[in-house]
Amino acid sequence: MPRFSGVLLLIASGLGLNSACGQMNYESERQAMVDELRNESRLTEEYGAPRISDQTLEVLGRVPRHEFVPDDQKRYAYENRPLPIGAGQTISQPYIVALMTDLAEVTKDDVVLEVGTGSGYQAAVLSELAGHVYTIEIIEMLGQRAKSVLDRLGYNNVTVRIGDGYAGWPDQAPFDAILVTAAPENIPQPLIEQLAVGGRMVIPVGAEGEVQVLQVLTKNSDGLLIVKNVIAVRFVPLIREER
């Protein structure tokens, strides 16, 4: 509280203006990010990558990415690049978030599993499109922080759990879509088993420091998987619980 009542109104008004200007800046920066992603999508389409849908871009235009990054990273929140979030982890580049969301083809009736909550940003994006999102984070500090942010922002159709995502979430399976936001060297068998018939899994595969490939797996009615390679990527490795 200001000490001098004579300047209270002026100071309060100034704080209000600064807050409003800050919010407007975030909104304009977010829209600039969406415009950049739209242009990048057109360019990458020429090299075989799928174009990002308008629906997904609209979602990224609503979700406040700055709320999901540490305070010292907020000024970079709407740059199209990954950012550190602590514990050696990152929030993914917005283009990759948009691409993985699009590849999952999520609809309002879908139950989605995310492996690797991280900041919670990808879960927030998915929640705008899905019926319910179950997300698992092995690093407790990150999982608790993501849950706090998601709850505060009103993402009520997201459930966060601390645990080993390699094992999936059997109690809530099968899943119409599974997104894995860290790279295993091989696709975890439990996730394959928990993918619904007709469901889609979007997952980066490959060892740390080597070429990783973003893949889309679709399970047909015979339980067989159809695998499509999309683009080369670089993700942090999928962490397992010590055994």
Active site residue ranges: 92
Query: Which DSSP helix (H) or strand (E) runs through 143?
Result: helix 140-152
SS3 147: helix
Nearest alpha carbon to residue 131 among 110, 148, 117, 102: 110
Tell me the C-alpha distance between 235 and 205, whole Å: 9
- At 115, give phi and psi (nearest 5°): -105, 110
How is residue 74 written in tokens? Answer: 């907020």
Tell me the C-alpha distance between 199 and 57, whole Å: 22
Bridge partners, residue 158, by sequence: 133
Q: How far is CA 112 from the centre of its chain?
A: 12
Q: What is the CA radius of gyration of the chain?
A: 19
Bridge partners, residue 134, by sequence: 113, 159
